[in-house]
Structures are given as structure tokens and as C-alpha cells.
């Protein structure tokens, strides 16, 4: 034995491989019992003392095959030697559990049915039966092996070993349950178990073992039984069997017991997961998955959504829940571009050069006459034009609100009266400010107009356009006088409210907003304004912390959803809002919803219980996907009552809502009382996979539920809920007009132009900002023409409203009198396209344009008809490049739904090749490291910015994005995507705080300030005087970014998905059980052994 041990010790090292091979050869061929036992004991000792690495080494040298051959040889004898057979089975179980191909190897060796026969002959011999069960368990890791065992009555044999509650032979009982579970990996075996009633038996066994609490190892047996049930639920037949046998109800009752017993808490999560898997698949309650909004594209037939009968969701194609889950993400490195020619060579332009001169008009700073006299006249002309435009807007607004009567106040009406009741109530003596605010909030109600109190702010798109054209055709003066008289005789509620309660909101004018909204073109033809957009928003004075997540809150919500299935007595299931049904009236005992306004998104609301609602979002126009953004009005609430909202058709597999993020809420009453704030709101917020499926066509799609609870502060208020702080197209248009009026044209060159029109006819604004030259002299004019260009874009994805708030900060800063802003204007010419996807923003979409394409994947070859904003933005870039004014910086502002902080994506050849492991020698590649200048500057000055979250890799999947195309085709070294979180920060002074509009606007300011690092006098950027000027204290200046190269969030403690199994048996757990079996005393008598030997011979 000592010599054998010495040989094996030598074999453990790679330099003495022959020693291990000799031992394995001896094990297969020797007939000497003593030698085989010695080898088995030495192997077991050595492998137990080491790590899995030793076992895998032995497997690589044929260890599994040697043990299987020894097993077959030993069992070929007329009377097997169990003294040798038992340790052989033990070692085979330990090694086989680490060998992925053990089942196939056993089939090849003929050991599968032999092991099953051994079990059949040793059912009454506990230690032998346990050893056989462990081997069967590991062999069943192969589907073909499990199927072979099932075809030879293996399920029946093992099921007979599953006793009612007992305190004896627990090791064998647990081994039998684990072996049974392993066999259920095949569809055939599951169907067999269902047909023989084994599922009902497993449920009864679980109930009985659970009733014993924590006695005599009952929890371990319960875990093993749950594993069996989890395996069953991989198949439709198994899930249906559990439901038909009352399994969900039984498991729910047992879970309630576990929650009150800390010793049984470990059973709760796998039981809840099991119930989630068994809940019947439910079709989302829509006639069609396709968006409620369809748009006829140029040159294509009008799209008609398919509304045929829905699939029942029980197709065998989706039988395996593991197959239903999302495909595993490909290795990130595989997505990196490794073709050096694609990384370095500039492709040919996508259009002829003779088309580029048309973009010269978008460089007005080159052709404008900056003579002093002209500046003065221009200032006067601008002032006159602006005033006239403003007066015209007010007249238009008053005319729109003065024509309707109370009788035709329907949701789909083209006109609406703004009730005079408000002026009457406010003229009464003794009406308190709070009471008046409440009345006004109620009067601003924009939904369910059959109720007498529900009066809305309504803009009439069609009538607005008709009247707008009338202004152009008729004599302007006569028309203005006519409407001025009407305005004096009929003052609108808007006028009264603005006089009495208007909060001073910087750079926002409600009446200008109304006018802009009246001209915005939407698919449904919006006729109603959302109050927050009209009234405006001021960031709250204090910053809001991330919401703490209660332990097991997801479990609580899931159990409530399961209760909906079990107890239908309190379930209402009543549709209270449908975007496609204008005749539907909200019941008086439910909340009232509305979303048919600019940027609004809510397709349907279903009242589930008295204070619980399922909400369904509208997909992007002309498609059936991309539901994430929501923005809707809710009213008719009771104060201090918790309302649960479930958005049930979210598509992303995880969300920052699981990590402290909350939706935002706006209260009309609070706004009228002087607090016009979007605030973070909602408790018990969580995000998890649900049991809904699409109506048809996308059976592999999984939906997720975002659930949160809102307790409204006021009864009969009108509130708005949104995914993030809304920023509409009309808000942008209003903001640009206010900014243009606010700048001094003698100092700041600010020009709005229309880059192009969108598919639905909305204008895409282009803004040019720079400093006016000191004089019209040649030197100053040449300095203007020599200024580098900076191009900034935003909102290509309409759901990323945070990008617009960042852009708002950028625009306001560049138009300010700030010293740094002045320096930037003198150093650069800014070309800004603040909204690349106006149609998507207006229609409340999340990702796409009206052609159902992601515009940020169209930059390689944009279609001039279907992608006009991208086509012409790229054309402007081509033009600037052709005249030698390639932008020094290009940055596209975005929002990121899965990460915290703000960060940049850039482009680098070397870093891409390094990260991808490319064999290309990068030593000889020369690359300007200047692409890191702005990120480094931002890391110095911006508290929300995370330098370590930035990367500069060029991915194949993003080859058609703005960042990559502008870098590759235009040669812009500093071409970036700036991503802003929806949630908040996990670093610096903002750590643990949710981001607000003030912080987003601050980020827009900081990005501008970072551009000073590109000026000739870079020392100015790092000077203490500038640092003081931009309000940075020492702590902010020296803050360190959080290292976020890995995923932003750790794996979540509660399973968002539910397709995972009950926790698998670990190799160490199996080893422990095997060792216990080895160490225990033989419990059978000699007579029993003789009886077993007789059975074997027979």
C-alpha cells in the first residue's frame, strides 16, 4: 500500500504522469481485491485532501473510464464483492459529479443499466442503495443517459424509495430524491412522472415533510423535494400537473407558514420561485402587440397591424423555461472591432460632394454682417419680431380657448371651453388659498369630461393650424384687432391662473408653450396639454436620496400576484382607461387615467383590486417593441391611501428601479400652491419578470413588471407620473425662443435655424452660438472664421429625457454672462442640434423614430426620406469637413438605464485592439491620446462624472452610431457619447442621491467648462481663479471616481428571473454525503447480506 501511495504522489505532478496512468491501468485490469482496494483508498485520500483541480486532472487522464471499467468487471462476477464495490461506487460518484461527459462514458462502458440493476438488487441495503443512487444521479447529467434509465423503469424503482416521513435512513432518502430529480431533465421522464401520478405524490410528500418543521433533517429533505418540483416545471405538462393538483395553493399555504418560522426561511425563496414558474401564462390584455400609433411612411403602403387571434401561449416551442429565458450575452470581447483597416481607414462619403454646398446656409456666422450699425438695427428688428410673434401667439391662444360650449366637451372634441367657474369661485370672498388651489387643480383636470368638474387645458391642433395659416393669408392688423377684442371680453382660465398663481420659472413662458404645442404635429393629433409642461418645473431645493429597498419586497409583491390567481373574490379586472377607446368613461370609484398629450405614454389601465392597477405601455409607433418610457395623468384619488401600480409590459431584463431609483410625480395642487416640482416618489419599488406574454408573434419575449406604490398627499388632486423628468419638443421650442430674446445680440451670436423637417412635418432646430467679433475689422473677423467648431446633439432616443435636461444646461450656460461661457464663445463656434428625434419625443416613444428604427443605428448610410434628421446632420458634418472646419469635438447626449453616474464613451484604435486581444502589434501604431482630455477635465470638475466608467472601445454592434461614424468618417478625435444616469450616483459628494434636473443641467454646464482644456491657454483651465469661479470647493476638485469597469450593479439578492432551478447540489455537498455513508456502520445483519446475495444470483 505504501508503494502504491508513493507512486500516486509522484503521479500528482505533471512531471510524473506515468505513475497515475499505471495506477488507473492496474485498477482496470487487476483481479486482486487487495490491490484494487489499496488503489481506491489512496485515490480517495489524495483527492479528498486536494482541490477539484486534482480531480479534473485525473479525469483528463482517463480516471472516469478506469472506474467505470472496474465497476463493470467487478459486477460481472457471479457474486459481486461489495467490500470492493462500495468504495468504487463512492469514488465514481465523487469524480463523476465533476465530469461533464460521465453519462456518455458510462453508456459506452455498459455501466448504466448495470448500476440500475445493482440498485434494484440492493433496495433493502441502505449503504449500497445510497451509493447506487449517487452514481445514477451523476450519470443522469446526460439527457440520453437519463432517458435510458427512465425507459428501464428507473423512475419507478427510485420513486418507491421515497417514503412518508421517517427518522431513519435520511441519507438514503435524500439520495433517492436527488436521483429522481436528476432523471427529470428529459421531457420523456417528466411526462412519465405526470402520467403515473408522481407529481401529486411529490406535493404530498413535501407537505408532510414540511409539517415536521426543523425536526430530524426535514428541511434538507424539503429542499430536495423542491428540486424535483423545479425540474418538473421545465415542461408544460409538469406545470399543468402542479396546477391541476392544487400545487400552487398548497405551496402558497406552506410559504405563509415558513415566513413565521425563521428555521424554515431558506425554503421560502425556492418555493416562491416555483410558484412563479407555475403561474399560468397570461396573454397581455391587448388586441394587438403593435403600437396604437401607426404612421404611413413615404413610399410604403399604409401599415395595418395584424389583430388576428392571439396565441394561447402553450406551444411546445416554449416548453422549456430555460429556452424561454434571454440568450446568454456573447463575450464582450467578441464584439470589439479587430479589423485594423476598419478602425483606421476612412470610408468613402455616402453622398456626392456636389450636394454639400446646400449646407453652407447653416454657417450664418460666416455671412452675417457684424458692422456696428447693423448690430443695432438687428437688435431692434429682433425685438420687434419677437414681440409681434409673442402677441400673435397670445391672440391665437385666446382664440383657441373661446369657441366651445359645455355640450361638446368630449375627449375627442376639436374645441373645448375653459370654464368660467374658476373666475367665479375665486371672486368670492373668504376663499382660502388652499381651497382655491384645490379647486383650480380640479378644474385643470384633463380627463373624463363627462364629469362636470373635469375641465382641461386644450390646444386644438387642427384649428390652430387653420388659424395659423389664416394669419398668413389675411391682413395681420385687422385680424389681431378682432381677436384682441375677443380676448378682452372673454378672459381665459389660463390668464386668471397666471395672474394669481404663476411661479417664476426661469426660461419658461406658459403662453409661448401653448403656442408651440399647438403647432407640434403628432400622430393622434393631441388636443390637450399636460399641466406640468404648460406650467413648468423648478427643481426642489434639496436633493433626494435613493429609495431604501426593504428586504424581500419583491417576494411580497410576487406573493400578492400569486394571491390574485388563488383568490379571485376581490379581483375587479376592469378596464378604466384605453388609449384606443375614446368612449370609455372612468368609473367614479376608480382612479382616472389619461395620456393623450405630448410625450405621454400609457395605453391601457386595468383596475385589478380596489387600490391596485395594471398599466400597459404603448409600443413605439409602427412596431411592437420598446416599451419603457411612461408619462400619464392620474386623478380622482383619495389622500393617504396607498395605490399600487404595476407596469406589466416592460422589456429590459433589469432596471435601476431595483437599485434605489423612483418614478417622478408632479402634483397640480402643489404647483398652484407655489411648489411646481417634479419629485421622486413611490415606495416598495421593484422590477421583476412576470407571467405575461405578447398577444402573438413573439413567444420568446419575456415581460417584466415595474411595481411601485404611491400615497397621494391630496384628495381630488390631478397628478402626473413619469419614468423620468419629462422634456417635450414644445418645451424645447419655447426654451429656444426665450433664450433668443434673452441674449444681447451685440455680444452673443445666437441663431435658430431649421435643419430639416421630420417625417410628420415637425422642424428639427439647429442652433449656432458664438461671440460676436469685437469689431468688423479684418483681424477680428478672421479670428471669428478661425474659431474651431464644437457640435453637440441630443435626444436621438426619445425616452432619454435626461439628455434634454443636460442640453438645457448647456444652452443656458452658453447664452449666459458667465466668464467661462464668454471665454468659450470667443474660442469656439457651437453647432447644436438639441433634439434629433422630435417625432419620437412628441408621440411618447422610447427608442425609435416613426419608421420604427433606432436612429442611432442609421449613421452609416441614413436615408434622406426616412431618416432626415440624421441624414442632414451628417451632411452638415460632411460640409464642415469639406471646408476645413471639422469639429474639434462632437458629443451626442444620451441617457443610460442600467448604470449610475455620468460618463463618456469615446473611440480609440489602440485600446480596442488591446482589449480584444488582437495579435496586431500596437507598438508601431501612433494615436493622439487627446481623446482622454475632456474625460480627465470632467473628472476634475464634475461631481456626477465617473472617469473610470468611461471607455473608448469600438464595438461592431455600434459601428453605425453617431460616435463611431463621426470618429471614423469625419476624423473627429474627440467624438463622444455622454451617458447620464436616470438614477443617481454611487461616488463622490452625490453618492447615494438620485439625480435631479438641477444636477443634469449642472452636467451640461460642466461639459462646456471642460472644453476650456482644449483652448490654447490650457493653464487657464487649471488655475485656481477659474476653479473658484465655477464654484468648486477643494473636496469636489479632488474627488476620486468610482471604479466601474465591471457591471454597475452586483447580482441582485432577489431573483428578477424565475427560470432558474432550485439551488443545485454542490460537489462538496455530495462528497459530504458520500463520506458520511463511508464512515457509518453497516446497519444490515449478516442474514440480510446473505439475502441480498441470493437476490443478486437469482
First and final CA of the chain: distance in angstroms? 36
Q: Report helix angle 187-195 to 143-151, nearest 10.
A: 30
Residue 534 and residue 772 in contact, taking contact as beta carbons nearer than 8 Å: no
Q: Residues 686, 658: contact at Cβ < 8 Å?
A: yes
In angstroms, rounded to a whole number, what is the distance separating the alpha carbons of residues 282 and 695? 9
| Dihedral sign from CA coordinates of 666, 668, 671, 675 | negative
Look up 979 and say whether it is catalytic.
Answer: yes
Q: Burial level of 335, CB count in 10 A (0-12/13-18/19+)?
A: middle
d(CA 712, CA 700): 38
Q: Phi and psi at residue 635, in whole multiples of 5°?
A: -150, -175
Question: Contact at 8 Å (CB) between 230 and 316?
Answer: no
- Report CA-CA distances (Å) from 463 to 460, 467, 526, 903: 5, 6, 12, 45
DSSP secondary structure string for all residues of 966-1026: HHHHH--SEEEEEEEESSBBSSGGGBTBB--HHHHHHHHHHHHHHGGGGSS-HHHHHSHHH
Q: Taking the CB of residue 355, how many other CB atoms lie within 10 A of it? A: 13
**Collapsing DSSP states into helix, strand and coil, what is residue 496?**
helix
Question: All 3 cell numbers of residue 498?
Answer: 397666471
CA distance 198 to 206: 12
Alpha-carbon gap, residue 480 to 395, rounded angstroms: 7
b/e 49-64 (16+ beta carbons within 10 angstroms → b)? eeeeeebebbbebbbb
Are 396 and 467 within 8 A, CB to CB? yes
- Bridge pairing between strands 789-794 and 829-833: parallel
Could you tell me the three cell numbers for 1085?
A: 445483519
Q: How far apart are CA 673 and CA 717, in angstroms?
A: 12
CA-CA distance, 765 to 919, in Å (whole number)?
Answer: 46
Contact by Cβ (8 Å): 547, 662? yes
* Radius of gyration of the chain measured on its C-alpha atoms: 36
Q: What is the per-residue DSSP string for 497-562?
A: HHHHH----TT--HHHHHHHHHH---SS---B--HHHHH-----SSPPBPPPPPTTHHHHHHHHHH
Question: 617-651 burial by CB neighbour count: b if 16+ within 10 A, else e?
Answer: bbbbbbbbbbbbbbbbbbbbbeeeeebbbbbbbbb
Q: Which three cell numbers stand for residue 95?
A: 469524480
Dist. CA 351–CA 877, nearest whole Å: 12
- d(C-alpha 794, C-alpha 803), whole Å: 6
Catalytic hit among 979, 1054, 1083, 1090: 979
Instruction: Tell me whether strands 612-616 and 683-689 are parallel, antiparallel or unpaired.
Output: unpaired
C-alpha 255, offset from chain centre: 30
CA–CA gap between residue 558 and residue 279 (Å, rounded): 11
Residues with active-site annotation: 979
Amino acid at each position: 500500500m505504501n508503494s502504491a501511495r508513493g507512486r500516486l504522489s509522484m503521479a500528482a505532478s505533471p512531471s510524473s504522469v506515468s505513475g497515475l496512468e499505471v495506477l488507473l491501468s492496474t485498477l482496470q485490469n487487476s483481479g486482486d481485491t487487495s490491490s484494487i482496494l489499496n488503489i481506491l483508498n489512496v485515490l480517495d485520500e489524495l483527492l479528498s485532501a486536494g482541490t477539484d483541480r486534482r480531480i479534473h486532472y485525473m479525469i483528463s487522464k482517463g480516471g472516469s473510464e478506469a472506474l467505470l471499467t472496474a465497476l463493470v468487471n467487478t459486477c460481472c462476477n457471479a457474486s459481486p464483492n461489495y467490500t470492493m464495490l462500495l468504495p468504487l461506487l463512492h469514488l465514481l460518484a465523487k469524480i463523476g459529479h465533476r465530469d461533464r461527459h460521465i453519462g456518455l462514458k458510462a453508456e459506452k462502458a455498459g455501466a448504466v443499466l448495470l448500476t440500475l440493476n445493482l440498485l434494484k438488487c440492493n433496495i433493502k441495503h441502505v449503504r449500497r442503495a445510497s451509493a447506487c443512487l449517487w452514481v445514477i444521479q451523476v450519470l443522469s447529467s446526460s439527457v440520453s443517459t437519463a432517458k435510458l434509465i427512465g425507459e428501464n423503469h428507473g423512475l419507478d424503482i427510485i420513486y418507491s424509495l421515497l417514503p412518508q416521513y421517517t427518522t431513519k435512513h435520511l441519507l438514503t432518502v435524500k439520495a433517492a430524491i436527488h436521483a429522481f430529480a436528476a432523471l427529470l431533465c428529459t421531457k420523456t421522464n417528466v411526462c412519465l412522472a405526470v402520467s403515473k401520478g408522481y407529481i401529486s405524490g411529490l406535493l404530498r410528500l413535501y407537505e408532510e415533510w414540511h409539517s415536521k418543521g426543523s425536526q430530524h433533517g426535514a428541511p434538507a429533505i424539503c429542499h430536495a423535494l423542491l428540486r424535483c418540483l423545479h425540474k418538473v416545471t421545465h415542461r408544460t405538462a409538469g406545470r399543468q400537473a402542479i396546477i391541476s393538483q392544487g400545487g400552487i395553493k398548497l405551496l402558497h399555504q406552506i410559504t405563509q407558514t415558513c415566513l413565521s418560522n425563521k428555521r424554515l426561511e431558506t425554503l421560502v425563496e425556492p418555493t416562491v420561485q416555483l410558484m412563479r414558474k407555475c403561474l399560468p401564462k397570461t396573454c397581455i390584455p391587448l388586441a394587438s402587440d403593435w403600437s396604437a400609433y401607426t404612421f404611413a411612411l413615404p413610399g410604403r403602403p399604409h401599415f395595418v397591424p395584424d389583430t388576428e387571434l392571439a396565441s394561447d401561449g402553450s406551444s411546445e416551442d416554449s416548453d422549456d423555461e430555460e429556452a424561454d429565458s434571454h440568450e446568454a450575452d456573447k463575450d464582450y470581447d467578441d464584439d470589439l472591432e479587430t479589423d485594423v483597416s476598419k478602425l483606421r481607414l476612412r470610408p468613402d462619403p455616402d453622398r456626392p460632394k456636389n450636394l454639400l454646398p446646400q449646407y453652407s446656409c447653416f454657417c450664418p456666422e460666416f455671412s452675417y454682417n457684424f458692422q456696428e450699425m447693423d448690430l443695432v438695427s438687428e437688435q431692434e428688428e429682433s425685438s420687434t419680431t419677437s414681440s409681434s410673434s409673442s402677441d400673435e401667439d397670445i391672440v391665437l391662444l385666446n382664440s383657441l380657448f373661446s369657441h366651445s360650449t359645455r355640450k361638446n366637451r368630449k375627449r375627442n372634441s376639436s374645441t373645448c371651453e375653459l370654464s368660467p367657474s374658476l373666475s367665479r369661485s375665486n371672486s368670492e370672498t373668504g376663499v382660502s388659498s388652499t381651497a382655491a388651489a384645490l379647486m383650480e387643480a380640479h378644474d385643470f383636470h384633463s380627463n373624463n369630461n363627462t364629469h362636470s368638474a373635469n375641465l382641461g387645458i386644450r390646444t386644438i391642433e387642427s384649428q390652430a393650424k387653420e388659424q395659423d395659416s389664416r394669419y398668413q393669408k389675411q391682413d395681420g392688423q385687422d385680424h389681431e384687432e378682432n381677436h384682441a377684442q375677443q380676448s378682452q371680453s372673454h378672459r381665459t382660465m389660463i390668464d386668471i391662473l397666471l395672474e394669481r398663481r404663476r411661479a417664476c420659472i426661469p426660461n419658461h413662458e406658459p403662453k409661448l408653450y401653448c403656442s408651440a404645442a399647438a403647432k407640434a404635429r403628432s400622430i393622434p393629433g393631441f388636443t390637450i396639454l399636460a399641466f406640468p409642461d404648460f406650467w413648468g418645473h423648478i427643481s426642489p431645493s434639496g436633493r433626494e436620496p435613493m429609495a431604501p429597498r426593504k428586504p424581500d419586497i419583491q417576494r411580497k409583491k410576487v406573493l400578492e400576484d400569486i394571491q390574485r390567481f388563488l383568490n379571485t373574490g376581490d379581483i375587479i379586472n376592469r378596464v378604466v382607461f384605453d388609449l384606443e377607446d375614446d368612449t370609455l368613461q372612468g368609473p367614479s370609484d376608480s382612479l382616472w387615467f389619461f395620456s393623450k398629450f405630448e410625450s405621454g405614454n400609457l395605453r391601457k389601465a386595468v383596475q385589478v383590486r380596489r387600490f391596485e392597477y395594471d398599466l400597459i405601455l404603448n409600443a413605439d409607433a409602427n412596431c411592437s417593441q420598446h416599451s419603457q418610457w411612461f408619462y400619464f395623468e392620474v386623478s380622482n384619488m383619495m389622500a393617504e391611501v396607498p395605490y399600487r401600480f404595476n407596469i406589466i409590459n416592460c422589456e429590459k431584463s433589469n432596471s435601476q428601479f431595483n437599485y434605489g431609483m423612483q418614478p417622478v410625480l408632479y402634483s397640480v395642487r402643489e404647483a398652484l400652491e407655489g411648489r411646481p416640482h417634479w419629485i421622486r416618489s413611490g415606495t416598495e419599488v421593484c422590477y421583476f419578470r412576470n407571467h405575461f406574454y405578447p398577444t402573438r408573434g413573439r413567444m420568446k419575449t419575456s415581460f417584466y413588471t415595474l411595481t411601485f406604490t404611491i400615497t397621494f398627499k391630496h384628495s381630488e388632486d390631478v397628478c402626473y407620473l413619469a419614468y423620468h423628468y419629462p422634456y417635450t419638443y414644445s418645451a424645447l421650442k419655447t426654451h429656444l425662443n426665450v433664450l433668443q430674446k434673452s441674449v444681447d445680440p451685440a455680444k452673443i451670436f445666437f441663431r435658430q435655424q431649421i435643419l430639416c423637417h421630420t417625417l410628420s412635418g415637425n422642424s428639427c432646430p439647429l442652433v449656432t452660438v458664438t461671440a460676436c467679433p469685437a469689431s468688423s475689422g479684418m483681424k477680428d473677423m478672421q479670428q471669428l472664421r478661425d474659431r474651431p467648431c464644437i457640435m453637440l446633439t441630443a435626444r436621438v432616443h426619445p425616452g432619454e429625457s435626461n439628455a434634454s435636461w443636460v442640453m438645457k444646461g448647456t444652452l443656458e450656460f452658453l447664452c449666459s454672462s458667465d466668464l467661462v461661457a464668454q471665454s468659450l464663445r470667443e474660442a469656439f463656434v457651437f453647432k447644436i442640434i438639441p433634439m434629433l428625434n422630435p417625432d419620437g419625443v412628441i408621440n411618447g416613444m422610447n427608442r425609435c423614430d416613426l419608421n420604427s428604427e433606432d436612429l442611432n443605428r442609421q449613421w452609416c448610410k441614413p436615408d434622406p426620406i426616412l431618416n432626415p434628421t440624421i441624414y442632414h446632420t451628417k451632411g452638415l458634418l460632411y460640409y464642415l469637413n469639406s471646408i476645413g472646419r471639422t469639429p474639434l469635438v462632437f458629443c451626442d447626449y444620451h441617457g443610460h438605464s442600467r448604470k449610475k453616474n455620468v460618463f463618456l464613451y469615446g473611440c480609440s484604435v489602440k485600446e480596442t485592439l488591446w482589449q480584444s486581444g488582437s495579435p496586431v502589434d500596437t507598438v508601431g501604431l501612433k494615436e493622439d491620446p487627446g481623446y482622454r482630455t475632456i474625460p480627465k477635465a470632467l473628472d476634475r470638475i464634475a461631481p456626477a462624472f465617473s472617469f473610470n466608467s468611461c471607455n473608448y472601445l469600438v464595438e461592431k454592434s455600434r459601428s453605425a452610431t453617431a460616435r463611431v461614424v463621426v470618429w471614423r468618417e469625419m476624423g473627429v478625435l474627440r467624438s463622444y457619447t455622454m451617458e447620464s444616469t436616470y438614477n443617481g450616483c454611487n461616488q463622490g459628494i452625490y453618492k447615494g442621491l438620485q439625480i435631479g434636473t438641477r444636477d443634469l443641467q449642472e452636467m451640461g454646464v460642466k461639459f462646456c467648462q471642460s472644453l476650456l482644456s482644449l483652448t490654447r491657454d490650457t493653464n487657464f483651465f487649471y488655475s485656481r481663479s477659474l476653479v473658484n469661479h465655477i464654484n468648486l470647493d477643494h473636496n469636489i476638485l479632488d474627488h476620486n471616481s468610482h471604479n466601474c469597469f465591471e457591471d454597475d450593479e452586483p447580482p441582485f439578492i432577489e431573483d428578477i428571473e424565475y427560470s432558474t432551478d432550485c439551488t443545485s447540489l454542490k460537489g462538496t455537498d455530495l462528497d459530504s454525503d458520500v463520506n458520511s455513508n463511508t464512515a457509518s456502520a453497516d446497519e444490515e445483519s449478516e442474514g440480510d447480506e446473505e439475502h441480498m446475495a441470493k437476490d443478486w444470483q437469482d
